[in-house]
Structures are given as structure tokens and as C-alpha cells.
Amino acid sequence: MAYIPNTPADQAEMLEAIGLNSIDDLFAPIPQHLQLKSELNIPSSLDQISLTRHYIELAKKNAGAEDYTCFLGAGVYDHYVPPTVGAILSRGEFLTSYTPYQPEVSQGVLQSIYEFQTLIAELFAMDLANASMYDCASGLAEAAAMASYITERREILAADTINPAHLDVLRTYLNHGPYELHLLPSQDGRIQSETLKDALSSTTAAVLIQHPNFYGGIEDMFSLSDLAHANGSLFVASVDPLSLGLLSPPGDYDADIAVGEGQALGCPMGFGGPMLGLFTCKSQYIRRLPGRIVGATTDIDGKKAYVMTLRTREQDIRRETATSNICTNVALYALAAAVHLATLGKTGVEQVASLSFQKAHYMASQIDSLPGYRLTFPEMPFFKEFLIDCSSSPEQINQRLLKDKILGGYVAEGNRMLIAVTEQRSRKQIDDFVKILSEF
């Protein structure tokens, strides 16, 4: 086998050195009746050429964004990934290393995480960021648990305009702890201050708002944050990191914890995984932070160095009293985000946000002027995504779009379609989409 160097001669020599006669002897500690006597019922071995043919065939059955123009969003976006990201991520030194438990030989990964934390904290205008979570949804759930611990309250108020996939995960997590989850109902696509005011109580630990929300809408974050704080609750924001090239960052509206889905920062859509959970908070809560965090220090010679820090929060030391059971960070994708943000830089991030905003608004106005279509929430300010009402079935429209190699929007209840427009979409691609809509 190409990945197993031991030859039969090697095996014989090694067995002799151990003092055993056969490979089977190595498995003697496993009781005989628990050892497999025959092959597993799985596929037969494929040589590397056949395997390559197989994966190419599988990939061809999928509508990748290289062949299809993508207007799908709903949490995962087809933003531009600069070539620097692929070049750095394919370096074996990053790809094939592990958690930097030994800092002396892991300065590369450690510094990249430290820089990732800094870049995310700057982008969010928050005091600090951790080394990342599995995805935005689990970050949101960890934020809820953290807020409950800090406030010693149990109720979590979550906007019903949060991505439904994230709400599903939040519900699953909170079902398994001492929490009560209540949804804040939106009106005209957004959370109204009055609604929040009425819903807050002395048991409310945290208010969770997504911004821009699932429908692309811009929430009144300053007022919502003020209301939460006046009630002694924490304010938790879930944001699209690339929106922060245009929109006020969570630190500006005094969010206590801010999370986000980092996929748009140079990570592949990859059929939805892995994702990159961004997690930031105020510095006063650092000891309740879930996940890894890297800090700067010096070595015994006074040389600058980086190391995982505040380790006593973590499961391998604290066991059942740890702040979370998480034992991973999506380090490779955190590196992707760091390379992505470094390459785009200040100007690039602002341009991506601005171009996405402009193109989405152009497309929305084109569709809104077509007969049979209208913006579902015409008064709602939005960023790069918007919801439309269709007089025909959105599924049928999407099927028609596929014929022109266009991936249409996310189909929502009530003949609605959620359309995402990134900086990658050209005017022609938008016009082609709109033209097909006009056929219905």
C-alpha cells in the first residue's frame, strides 16, 4: 500500500524484535470472539487511477460555482477567494500539523492564530476573539450558555430572523441544559424595539440578534442593544463578517459577545462544511470564553513567542467544570481567513462590502419593477441579500434558471425567494437572471 512503508521483510524483522511470531499475536489482547474473522462488507479496494476517475465522476454530478452562477446564500456565500489562500493552505507545514501543544515547534500555527484573533477583533471592533468554533451556529449556542453563566439567568431571547439552520442548532444545544429559549417575533422582516421591550424579563440572560438578518435586513442594533443592557441582559450579535466593511461593527453598538460565520473569509463552500465559527467578546468575559485562545509572550531568552493561553478554562485540564467541551478550533480555515483578510486588506474588505451592496440593490430594483414580483419587505434596508414575493412557484423558476446554468435563490415559505448577490456577480449575470424571471 502506498501509505504503508512496511514490507513483509520489515514486518518479519520487527515481529522478531518484539518476540512474536505473527501479526495475529499482536492482537492477542483482544478476546478471540471479538476479533473479526472475515472481511467487512464495504467496497473493494480501488487503485489510485481508478479512485481518481471515481472522484472526478462524483464531482461532475455536482453543480459547483465554477460552472454555475451562484445566487444562493442563506448563510454560505460565493465570495471571491484570492489565490494566496490556496497557495498558503496547501503548504504541508500548516496542512499536516496539529494543535500547537508544543509551542517551540509550532510558532507558525500559533502566530497565524494570534493574527487571526487580531484581524477578527479589529473587524468586529471587539476586545478579543478566540481561535474559532465549529461554525456560527455552535458559536451562537456557546454564546447563549456563556451569557447564562455570566448573568446567572436562564432565558435566551433569540430573534426569529436568525438563520433557521442556526436556530435549529441553538434549540438542540439549549434543550440539553438549564435554559429556556424564546423566539422574538419579527414584524415586516425585522425585530421592533417594542417587541423586545415587551419580551424582556428579569430572567433574560441574553438577547440574540442576527445582523444583517436571515432576510438580508439591517436591524436596529443600537436600540436593541440598549434595551438588552437596561434589562441587565447581555447583547449577542451574529454578523456577516464581510458586511463589516460597510456596516457598523458589533463593538460600536456595545455587543457583549459577537459571533459570525467565517466561511465567506476565504473558506470553500464545501457543501456546507467545514465552516468557521467566529467568536468575539468583551475582555471582562475572557475567563468564560469557550475554545482555544493564543497569547503573546517571550521565551527564556526574551524572544517574542506565541502560546495557547488561559488553558485552565479548557476540558483537558478542567474536565467536567470546563467552560465548554470544545477541543478543536478550525485552525486551517482560521488561517484561510487570516490570509484572506491580509490579502484583501482594509480597502479590499470595504470594496467587497460596497460592491455586494450595490449589486444586490441594482438586482432588487430590477426585480421589483417586474410585473409578478415584489420585494417582500420594501421598507427594510438590506445589505447583500433580499427576499422577493413571486407570483409563480420559486421552485419552477429555479428549475428554469438551472437550464442557463444559474443557481437561483433559496426558496422560502409562501412563494418567496431569498437572493444573495456578491461582488463576483457581473451586471450581465444579474440581467440574465432578471430576464428569465420576466418570462414567468
Tell me which residues in 134-173 interact with other proteins (CB under 8 A). Answer: 134-138, 145, 163, 165-166, 168-169, 171-173
Cis upstream peptide for 212 (omega within 30°): yes
> Under rule CB under 8 A, which residues in 207-266 are in contact with other proteins?
218, 220-222, 244-249, 252, 261
Contact residue for other proteins among 410, 412, 419, 422 (CB under 8 A):
410
Q: Which residues contact 432 (CB under 8 A, 6 or more apart)?
A: 69, 404, 406
Q: How far apart are CA 406 and CA 408, in angstroms?
A: 6
What is the rounded end-to-end Cα distance, in angstroms, of the chain? 57
Residues 81-100 that bind other proteins (CB under 8 A): 82, 84, 86-88, 90-100
> What is the Cα–Cα distance from 134 to 114, expressed in whole angstroms?
18
Q: For residue 27, what is the DSSP state? A: T
Comparing CB distances to other proteins, the nearer of 20 and 230 is: 20
Residue 249 DSSP code: P
Q: Does 322 contact other proteins by CB under 8 A?
A: yes
Site for other proteins in 17-36 (CB under 8 A): 17-20, 23, 25-31, 34-36
Contacts of residue 403, defined as CB under 8 A and 6 or more positions apart, other chains included, come to none
Please say which residue, 78 or 256, places its beta carbon nearer to other proteins.
78
Set of cell numbers at residue 140: 451562537
Q: How far is the CB of 371 from other proteins (least distance, A)?
A: 21
# chain residues binding other proteins, by CB under 8 A: 209
Establish if 377 lies at the interface with other proteins (CB under 8 A): no
Cβ burial, residue 47 (10 Å; 0-12/13-18/19+):
exposed
**Of the residues 21, 53, 55, 187, which one makes contact with other proteins according to CB under 8 A:** 55
369 near other proteins (CB under 8 A): no
Q: Which of 150, 181, 310, 434 binds other proteins (CB under 8 A)?
A: 310
> Which of 8, 56, 403, 414 forms a contact with other proteins (CB under 8 A)?
56
Among 109, 196, 255, 257, binds other proteins (CB under 8 A): 109
Q: Select from 233, 240, 260, 275 the one that contacts other proteins (CB under 8 A).
A: 275
Residue 115 touching other proteins (CB under 8 A) = yes
237 within 8 A of 253, measured Cβ to Cβ: yes
The residue from 69, 79, 114, 200 that contacts other proteins (CB under 8 A) is 114
Write the DSSP string, 37-58. Answer: -S--SSPPP--HHHHHHHHHHH
Residue 74 gets which letter from DSSP? Answer: T
Regarding 326 and contact with other proteins (CB under 8 A), the answer is yes
Residue 294 CA to residue 273 CA, distance in Å, equals 24
Q: Which of 124, 163, 158 is nearest to 144 (CA)?
A: 158
The strand pairing partners of 411, in sequence order, are 417
Residue 182 is which amino acid? Answer: H
Should residue 389 be labelled a site residue for other proteins when binding is judged by CB under 8 A?
no
Beta carbon of residue 439, minimum distance to other proteins (angstroms, whole number)? 19
Contact between 413 and other proteins by CB under 8 A: the answer reads no
Stretch that binds other proteins, among 108-116, 184-192, 201-209, 385-393 (CB under 8 A): 108-116
Spatial CA neighbour of 237 closest among 350, 124, 75:
124
182 lies in the binding site for other proteins (CB under 8 A): no
Q: Which CB sits closer to other proteins, 351 or 415? A: 351
- Considering only 188, 194, 198, 299, the residue that binds other proteins (CB under 8 A) is 299
- Does 400 contact other proteins by CB under 8 A? no
Residue identified by cell 445582523 is: 211
